[in-house]
Structure 1
């Protein structure tokens, strides 16, 4: 079956499965499901890609990816920041900067991981899982295998965290809102924040989702800062020669614009639902295309180091995030 037919089928299947209660209970969103299905398709398909297939796959991984992230902004609003207070914003900022810095430094300097794997894993853990990794990809231009490795580790520990939050809740003296801030500032994916908060009560879930979405909103300035930072540093002679030309990820401004529109304009629910589906579908197509061109052997060759890095960041999120939330809230 041609790629331009099978990838949309994979994306729709992932979106549909993510809405099944038994699947959503594990915090699995459409994006990680799409990349897994794409990997199965790429591994077991006997079809040899022709030029049309390659063009379509590249279109999904580049154009559709950026389009999906721009539309993702319609699910956010600046009013959400005011609903939870300044403490949540401070906690999100501290966690993002800490996780990304530790992940990058330890990954590159200590574990000797490839720069792109370390940065992608750190970004995914710090901000919003697979969506952050895909957005960061636009700046790094990494190999497909590096993206897949980062997503796999982030999904693994993000899913594990969901089962830990309810256990922690039983042993701590925190209000439902405070615990929701803790979940939102440390959960990897939006879907995981929903599932973890829902396992406690509705108030915790609502707070967790708002705080998590604030972290998602910080994706835009993060990408701009990362782009400027990498451009200034330069990693080889070619980069140094060209560092006067700043690679600006223009789609980030689209993301900020759609969030601003959603903050000042009350969109009809039907339109918001359609935009949300279009965003999910576009991102799921990008993930499916990415998975289809990734080989299992490459992930296996990566060894335990990416897992060790993701585990370290997971521990900092769970423990550091708890003490920070307890202190500020």
Structure 2
């Protein structure tokens, strides 16, 4: 345990500062979540002085990127209940499923076969755009085993284009584009990257629309666990059994925890406490990712990932609109 102490103290300090910054008026005005701030601050620390203490801190930092990350994803299930799905109905479930599958496939095709990007980077970006941004990317990283700089690039794309979407969607709403308020909430939840971005976009319109948008988004989050199981199996097949199939047990436990949370057996105050622990663990993992990401590796990534993020952003806005319009017609 002693060998982990220095690294865990470092990522804990970054987490604490990131949380404090996220509560400031400045950060809230820019809609910067503690997760995003953790990787940004970790990146700054990693490129300014981490090399001096890397030998002492490496074990703890890597532990945060591994076990702590998986524990955070697992406990994230306390943010969800099956009752959330019932509130938005089959319309939102079908819309979210279509958007998840289509976005993942389109991202992989454009990223791998047209832009010729690194497969791991494409998988991370596709997962983040398809499901729930940074948290999904962290979950996929545990399956894909990607380097930290690829995680940082994927998260940067989520931050950039998710932030643009956060202000674009309220403007689209003013155009009276043919979607009901309820369906527009589902549109926001099914096509904007991060939960915080979804809430912000919906709240600019009305609290009721924001509620629908967030619940629709949480339906996508629930799809994270089965998606990670599929991704793990697919990667094993794609590599022609060169690696054994590794069941992502943290994803299974994520589902189990969400099911337990749906029963109401656990007191609400304990659920809140466990959800907060999940958030802290994920921030620690993000800080560790940032610390181990070097600026030179981001420069080497070039403009191609940015182009991928932009093209998928266009699909989410335009393709997402037509999918939601079709679902509104189908479900009335």
Q: TM-score, normalised by structure 2?
A: 0.93
Change (3 A) 1:46 1:134: closer
Aligned counterpart, 1:265: 264
User: Superposed, which structure 2 residues align to 1:61-76 within 5 Å?
Assistant: 61-76=65-80
Once the two structures are TM-superposed, the CA of residue 115 in structure 1 deviates from its matched residue by 0.5
Deviations, residues 100-125 of structure 1 (Å, cap 9, x unaligned) = 00111110110010111111111111
Alignment map for 1:41-120 (pairs within 5 Å): 41-45=45-49, 48-120=52-124
Unaligned runs of 5+ in 1: 235-239
Q: Secondary structure at the match of 1:312?
A: helix
Q: Report the Cα distance in structure 1 between the residues aligned to 2:56 and 2:34, rounded to whole angstroms.
A: 26
1:186 lines up with 2:191 in the alignment: yes
SS at match of 2:52: coil
TM-fit CA distance, 1:155: 1.1
User: Deviation at 1:241?
Assistant: 5.2
Q: 1:124-139 counterparts in 2 under 5 A?
A: 124-139=128-143
Q: CA deviation at 1:127?
A: 0.5
Find the aligned partners of 1:300 and 1:259 in 2 and give their Cα distance: 39
Cα pair 2:232 2:248 within 8 Å, conserved: yes
Q: Give yes or no for the alignment of 1:233 onto 2:233.
A: no
> What secondary structure is seen at the aligned counterpart in 2 of 1:85?
helix
Q: Deviations over 1:19-39 (max 9, x none)?
A: 445423433221111000000
What are the ranges of 5 or more consecutive residues in structure 2 without an aligned counterpart?
none
What is the CA–CA distance in structure 2 between the aligned matches of 1:147 and 1:273, rounded to whole Å? 28
Q: Secondary structure at the match of 1:267?
A: coil
Distance 2:280 2:205 in 1: 30
Instruction: Assess if the C-alpha contact under 8 Å between 1:57 and 1:289 holds in 2.
Output: yes
Q: Distance in 1 between matches of 2:195 and 2:303?
A: 26
Q: Greater shift after overlay, 175-184 or 264-273?
A: 264-273
Kindly indicate whether residue 208 of structure 2 is the aligned counterpart of residue 211 of structure 1.
no
Structure 2 contact 128–137 (Cα < 8 Å) conserved: yes
CA RMSD of aligned residues (A): 1.6
**Is the Cα contact below 8 Å between 1:76 and 1:213 reproduced in 2?**
yes
Residue 17 of structure 1, CA deviation: 3.0
Aligned position for 1:298: 297
Say if 1:27 and 1:162, in contact at 8 Å, map to a contact too: no
Instruction: Report the equivalent of 2:173.
Output: 169
| Further displaced range: 95-104 or 258-267 | 258-267
Alignment: residue pair count = 323
Equivalences for 1:25-36 in 2 at 5 Å? 25-36=29-40
Length-normalised TM-score, structure 1 = 0.94
Secondary structure of 1:35's counterpart equals helix
Q: Residues 150-175 of structure 1: CA distance to partner in whole angstroms, max 9, x if unpaired?
A: 11111110111001011001002433
Deviation at 1:12, TM superposition (A): 1.9
